[in-house]
Structure 1
Amino acid sequence: MNSRHQHIIQLVNERGHVSVSELAQVTGVSEVTVRQDLNVLEREHFLRRVHGSAVALESDDVSARMRTRYPVKKKLAEFAATLVNEGEAVFIEGGSTNALLARELAGRNNITIITVSHYIAHLLRDTDCEVIILGGLYQKSSESVVGPLTRYCIQHLNFHKAFIGVDGWHPDAGFTGRDMLRCDVVDAVIAKNTHTIALTDSSKFGQLHPYSLAPGNTFNQIVTDSGLAVHYRERLAEQPTRLDIVEIPESD
């Protein structure tokens, strides 16, 4: 995948819908070239083509999402891994950046990773760390478990930190998600009063989805990248939440 393809994917995912003519202007190539790019990216399931435009996929496929903004998510995962101390048990909820975090932690033989994600558990199958995967209703699209059994498991397990992936953040609504059952899992984690960390790239800020995450509560810490807009940083600074900004070189 070349840098132009990555730029197109990022724009489409951030805006949801971008015209061919605008993509041509932004990338500095002809509309014919953009259409060829979109054909390639649609075949590889990064986006969907409609007449005259490209549309973001509302997909829970972790592998596909991991390839979007990969260099940024990799640096976020590397930073998040430094927050985990030796001997700790950590809950890793799911999502592409959290999957990369699991990879970063995989070589440590004295930590325990607790997850609802079968995708993450599969990544860790040949590694040194201990892995606990929770029970529940298996969502095939996200490869995660949800529902009352998952909530019960969370209530009866203890962990030092919890890393949560989010779908969006809006100044008026806080953190939000696209899936009601996955949001319920997050609510169960936050209700335990453990140290919760929202691990997400800056493209999610400004997006609004139907379901609020832990209304009335808040994350203890937010880890995102330096692409976060200044006005969002100012709003987040007003909250009793630690905000860590991971600097990303412009080439990434």
Structure 2
Amino acid sequence: MLAASRKDLLLERLRRDGRVVAKEIAAELGISEDSVRRDLRELDAAGLAVRVYGGALPASPAVADYATRTRVAPESKHRVAQAAAALVEPGATIVLDGGTTTLAMVDALPRSLPCTIITHSPTVAAALLSHQADVFLIGGQLFKHSAVACGAAAVEAANRVSADLFFLGVTGVHAAAGLTTGDADEAAMKRTLASRAAETYALASEEKVGAASRFTVLSLDAVAGVVTDVVGDDPALRAISDLGVRIVAA
């Protein structure tokens, strides 16, 4: 089998099974594991897979730059945002992560809702100008790819706040890989924010469920639930639910 055909097969298995194991593919095709690993390295370099020990996972399309992400699955993000906003009670203190789904949450939150919102996203903060909510903006070095503040100064500021809920944006939600994103510093900032809230909910529009990115944010058992509009019989979502993770249907 030619390399191009092998890669097509690997991508099909990633879509179907949510992962590939190099040893199993090599045995099935009668080729060396080195050949399979080489194919997976090339798929990883092309942004089509994420290599892990022993094989690979589907790569998330949500690692694109901020402007591009605004055009990815907007209707799905709107549904997730509506369901997440319904979890916010009057008087609550919440942390909104950066990203296009949390920005959609701003539109979903009633403008007259009395609450306190903490965010490290200047985009989210600016969108809240017409809301009654008290808004606290965490500063630091601006990570332009995701339009959020990260780095030591942002982490230090985040460690001084406390909240009832944290709405976490990620690029991948996978039963094996957990909650992932594409940048190490951003992942660290998200973990810090999660540690400052009583409960964390991960926001997962359709393109993120069953996908993975390079850096782990949290394990699935570290969140109170995953808010998603993916239907319950989806194999990737079912694998997550089978772990005991609460699914908040959007």
TM-score w.r.t. the length of structure 1 is 0.69
- Relative contact order (alpha carbons < 8 A, sep ≥ 6): 1 or 2 greater? 2
* Counterpart selection for 1:202 from 200, 203, 206: 206
CA distance in 2, matches of 1:95, 1:180: 16
Distance, in Å, in 2 between the alignment partners of 1:75 and 1:215 is 24
Q: Structure 2: where are the runs of 5+ without partners?
A: 1-14, 16-60
Partner of 1:160: 164
- 2:142 aligned with 1:138: yes
TM-superposed CA distance for 1:224, in Å, is 0.4
**Pairing 1:92-241 to 2, within 5 Å after superposition:** 92-105=96-109, 107-192=111-196, 194-215=198-219, 218-227=222-231, 230-241=234-245
Partner of 2:75: 71
Paired with 1:234 and 1:86, the residues of 2 have a C-alpha distance of 32
Gaps of 5+ in 1: 1-14, 16-55, 247-252
Structure 1 runs (4+) deviating above 3 angstroms are none
CA-based RMSD of the aligned residues comes to 2.3
| Displacement of 1:193 | 5.5
Question: Aligned letter for 1:185?
Answer: M
The corresponding residue for 1:46 is: none
> Which residue of structure 2 aligns with residue 59 of structure 1?
64
- Range 105-114 or range 132-141, more displaced: 105-114
212-221 vs 107-116, which moves further: 212-221
Residue 90 of structure 1 pairs with residue 124 of structure 2: no
Deviation at 1:165, TM superposition (A): 0.7
| Residue 192 to residue 70, structure 1, CA distance change in 2 (3 Å) | same
What letter corresponds to residue 60 of structure 1 in structure 2? D
Q: Which residue of 2 aligns with 1:49?
A: none
Q: Secondary structure at the match of 2:70?
A: helix
The answer as to whether partners of 2:138 and 2:154 remain within 8 angstroms in 1 is yes
**In 1, Cα distance between equivalents of 2:145 and 2:87:** 29
Change in CA separation of 1:58 and 1:168 when aligned onto 2, cut-off 3 Å: closer
Q: Would you say the 8 A contact 1:176–1:208 is kept in 2? A: yes
Task: Name the aligned partner's letter for residue 69 of structure 1.
Answer: A
- What is the TM-score when the length of structure 2 is the normalising length? 0.69
Task: Tell me how many residue pairs correspond in the alignment.
Answer: 192
Asked if the contact 1:202–1:228 (Cα under 8 Å) also holds between the matched residues in 2, the reply is no
Which of 77-86 and 168-177 deviates more?
168-177
1: CA distance, partners of 2:117 / 2:202: 17
Instruction: Using the aligned pairs only, state the percent identity.
Output: 24
How is 1:6-45 mapped onto 2 (pairs within 5 angstroms)? none
Cα shift at 1:242: 1.3
Distance 2:240 2:211 in 1: 15
